Each structure stands twice: as C-alpha cells, then as structure tokens.
C-alpha cells in the first residue's frame, strides 16, 4: 500500500520543509483548483503521466500556463514523433498509487514508482511558491522549488528542470537533448497494487472537516468479437480506458477511410494502409490528450451532479430541512 497524505506531510515536517496546506473540495482540473487557492498568489501546476512504446513512464510537472507539445517532447527524449502518449488510468493506481487527478512529483515517494522519470518545468525556479496535490486532490500544498528539490533528493531523486516549451532541432548532428531522462528499465505491472485510496467525495462545505471516500469501482472486462467482419462497424468502449477508446475510434475510421479514398483515387486499399498507419501514429497522442481532458471534465460534472443530488435528497435519503 502506498503513502497516505498524512504520512507524506509528516515526512515533509521531518525534513524541516516549509509548506502551507489548504483543504478544499475535490478538484479534477487546474481550473477547479484555482477557485480555491488561486487567489493566494502561488503558481498552479499541471501534471501528466505519460508512457512510451516500451511502457516506460514519465511524470511531466509543469506550470499551468506552460504549453507541453508531446510530439516535440517525444523527439527530445529520442522516442520519435509519436513515442509518447497519455498513460492509462491503471498506471496511476498500479505505479503511482494515486487516483485520477492526483498526479504530482510527490507520488514518486512510493517504491512502485521508482522507475518513473520526472521532468520538471524550469519555470518553477522563478516562482516563490508552487502548488501541488499531496497524493489527494482535496488538499493543495504550497512550497518553493528549493523545498521541492529537498524532498526529491530525500527519496533519491536528482531534480531535472527542463524548458518544456523549447523546440531544439533533433537530427544526425543534433542528438536528443533529454535522452538522459529516459528510464533505463521497463516497469513490471504484473503485480496489481491493492487498497489504493480512491478520489474523495466532496462535502457540503468548501473546506470539509471529514473526508469520505468513494467505494472502489472495478471496470467491466471488455468483450471483443474477434469473428466480426471488417466492414462491420463497432461502438467504441465506454471511455474508461483512454488508450482502448482511441484505438477503437481508429478501428472504426480505418475501413471507411480506405474504402472512400481508394474509390476516389482508384488506388488499392493495401497501398493506402501505410498512409493511414502513419496518420494514426501522429494523431494518437493528440487524440488521447483530448480524450483525457474530456474524461476529467466528465468526472467533474459527475461529482457536481452527485453532490447536488445529495444536498437535495438529504444525507440519509430524507428531505433536507430548510
């Protein structure tokens, strides 16, 4: 079982690290977080968990306003243009041992995340304080980049600050400038991590005193019809697994694209397959990123709807007193 928020905060205190702690409602986006802590003047952060084709994982922690181009970042790591994509939610639970919306450098304290590479925005260095979730997204802590470094060094990490908006030329005479940050080993996900604390349920007050956890929801196994004809269209998955959802979208598009283009250009579908495969490789990271954003937004909407239903019906199913 991974570290808890209280254990992490206790570790920071043991290291004599100065930080401020703010309780608030559960948030799944930077915009929602800003409603509660944005007025304090610190720098908000966005944190991504990415993976490459060899299933190596990367936490990219950037200022909220930093533009992270995954194609350029992939090239700078020496992974090619389409080498990086959003990691599936399973990796959050199994490796970082945090639920959706809780990715931060602090998750690297867990031993299961020892093979995960960390890339920090060099913009953090110029900020007096930076905001991160301490393993749970109903709390935000503020600390300086030097204190963040102190924590990372204490867990055996050498902080690597990167200009994430840079776009250096990568080629024969210009080797990838971030190749040293690629993990040397391939993580083993064969042993699932149990008892991971799920995202908290928001309470009535903006600053909840007690925190109630949602029950763990197990995804239903996906059933594939391997005997279906190629021309038969299929509905995409329900979106709980971003990577599978995107693959399903391309599986639906592929026969339609090849059929229509081959008719108009009088070209065999086999000759067009490589073109579509190239398009899929380039477009997959962007589509996965957009899908993850939509997924996060739907989670936020679901929490809001459930919260309002709870208020309207009363905590025990009885009408609320007014």
Q: What is the pTM of this model?
A: 0.63
Q: Quick one: 135 and 40 in the same domain? A: yes
Residues 6+ apart with CB under 8 A from 319: 313
Question: To which H or E segment does residue 23 belong?
Answer: strand 20-23
Q: Quick one: 164 and 272 in the same domain? A: no
Number of CB atoms found within 10 A of residue 237's CB: 18
* Tokens 């996906």 belong to residue: 222
Residues 6+ apart with CB under 8 A from 297: 28, 29
Residue 197 lies in a domain: no
Per-residue pLDDT tens digits for 39-93: 999 999 999 999 999 999 999 999 999 999 999 999 999 999 889 999 999 999 9
Residue 281 lies in a domain: yes
What are φ and ψ of residue 258, in 5° steps?
-65, -40
Q: Quick one: 136 and 277 in the same domain? A: no
How many domains does the chain divide into?
Answer: 2
Length of the chain counted residue by residue: 322
Residue 207 lies in a domain: no
8 Å CB contact between 269 and 258? yes
Cα separation of 296 and 106, whole Å?
21
CATH code of residue 48: 3.90.960.10
Q: Quick one: 309 and 169 in the same domain? A: no
Residues 6+ apart with CB under 8 A from 118: 58, 59, 61, 105, 108, 152, 157, 159, 160
Q: Quick one: 28 and 110 in the same domain? A: yes
Per-residue pLDDT tens digits for 122-179: 999 999 999 999 999 999 999 999 999 999 999 999 999 999 999 999 988 999 999 9
Q: Quick one: 154 and 258 in the same domain? A: no
Residue 192 lies in a domain: no
Cα separation of 266 and 83, whole Å?
33
Of 146, 181, 216, which residue is a domain's last?
181
Of 128, 151, 181, which residue is a domain's last?
181
Range of the domain at 90: 5-181
């Amino acid at each position: 079982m991974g570290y808890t928020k209280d254990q992490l905060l206790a570790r920071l205190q043991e290291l004599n690290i100065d930080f401020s702690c703010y309780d608030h409602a559960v948030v799944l986006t930077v915009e929602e977080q800003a409603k509660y802590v944005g007025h304090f003047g610190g720098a908000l952060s966005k944190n991504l968990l990415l993976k490459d084709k060899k299933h190596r994982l990367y936490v990219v922690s950037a200022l909220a306003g930093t533009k992270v181009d995954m194609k350029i970042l992939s090239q700078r790591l020496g992974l090619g243009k389409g080498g990086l994509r959003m990691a599936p939610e399973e990796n959050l639970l199994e490796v970082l041992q945090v639920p959706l919306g809780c990715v931060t450098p602090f998750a690297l304290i867990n031993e299961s995340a020892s093979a995960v590479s960390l890339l920090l925005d060099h913009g953090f260095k110029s900020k007096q304080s930076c905001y991160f979730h301490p393993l749970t997204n109903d709390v935000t802590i503020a600390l300086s980049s030097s204190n963040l470094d102190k924590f990372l060094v204490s867990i055996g990490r050498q902080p690597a600050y990167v200009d994430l908006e840079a776009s250096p030329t990568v080629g024969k005479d210009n080797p990838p400038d971030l190749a040293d940050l690629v993990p040397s080993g391939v993580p083993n996900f064969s042993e699932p991590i149990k008892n991971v604390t799920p995202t908290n349920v928001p309470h009535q007050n903006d600053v909840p005193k007690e925190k109630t956890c949602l029950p763990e929801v197990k995804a239903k196994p996906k059933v594939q019809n391997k005997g279906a004809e190629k021309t038969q269209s299929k509905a995409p998955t329900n979106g709980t697994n971003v990577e599978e959802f995107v693959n399903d979208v391309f599986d639906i598009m592929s026969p339609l694209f090849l059929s229509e283009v081959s008719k108009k250009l009088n070209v065999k579908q086999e000759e067009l397959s490589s073109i579509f495969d190239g398009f899929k490789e380039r477009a997959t990271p962007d589509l996965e990123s957009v899908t993850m954003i939509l997924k996060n937004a739907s989670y936020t909407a679901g929490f809001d709807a459930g919260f309002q239903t709870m208020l309207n019906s009363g905590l025990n199913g009885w009408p609320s007193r007014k």
